Amino acid sequence: MTAFNYTNQTVLITGASSGIGRVFAETLAARGAHLLMLARSGAVLDALAADLSRRHGIRACALVADLSLPGAAAQACALGMPPDVLINNAGFATHGRFESIDLARQAAEVTVNCTALMELTHCALPHMLAQGRGAIINVASTAALQPDPYMAIYGASKAFVLSFSEALWAENRQRGVRVLALCPGATETAFFDVVAAPEAAVGKRMAPQDVVDEALWALDRGRSSHVAGRPNRLLAWLPRLLPRQTVLGIVEGMLKPKAA
């Protein structure tokens, strides 16, 4: 499979104001892509759009939206769609015993991690199919590879992203549209500041640039999914080698809140 050419392609990136999403924006702008960058931080996005436009001679537009709100993904579709490439990166996690975490917060977690991702993909895909070319990168997580005690909703939501993306890969691989589920492990971003639980980070944190480079490498090779980082790929084999309850016990010990 040939390398994907981003020159003059319009790329929509959610969660583009920081972390992995911001690095996707910077990397693809350098490759000649025009950007639709979506996040809640309007001032940050405006500054980033102006900087990338100046440095790379591309068009960059800020789309301000909170994907946890009903209808936000549909509004984003109306404002910035359809793109040639969609990167569903926005997401967040909660940590703790399921019954102790505010239900509305967990419902918002499902909305951002699953519902908004599904709606944006549903909006973008027909355009890609009509032109016979396109790409979708859905950011899942190594948390998708097994159930995650104390991060039950996050792990389940990312398992949805992985399964959904691989199914779309199979449906569309002969129709010109590439679909990749990216599974990063711990990454050096503000993700863990939001979670506010250092025990949620398993293993050494990767640099966001390394995660993005691996994602684009995997997309060029037509992969349906990719676990970023060699140590994470080794850990990904554990659920295949050990009994499920054994894996659950290991993960429970890793993620258990320190105060518990």
Instruction: Enumerate the active-site residues.
Output: 154
Asked if 34 and 9 touch (Cβ cutoff 8 Å), the reply is yes
Both structure tokens of 27 = 């990397």
The residue with tokens 């993005």 is 212
φ/ψ of residue 3, rounded to 5: -65, 140
CA distance 156 to 146: 9
CA distance 228 to 184: 5
Single-letter amino acid code for the residue at 125 = L
Q: What residues are paired with 39 via a beta bridge?
A: 64
The residue with tokens 């583009």 is 16
φ/ψ of residue 25, rounded to 5: -60, -45
Both structure tokens of 159 = 């398992």
- Strand ranges (E), the chain: 10-14, 34-39, 60-64, 85-88, 134-139, 177-183, 225-227
The residue with tokens 């948390």 is 143
Chain-centroid distance of CA 218 in Å reads 14
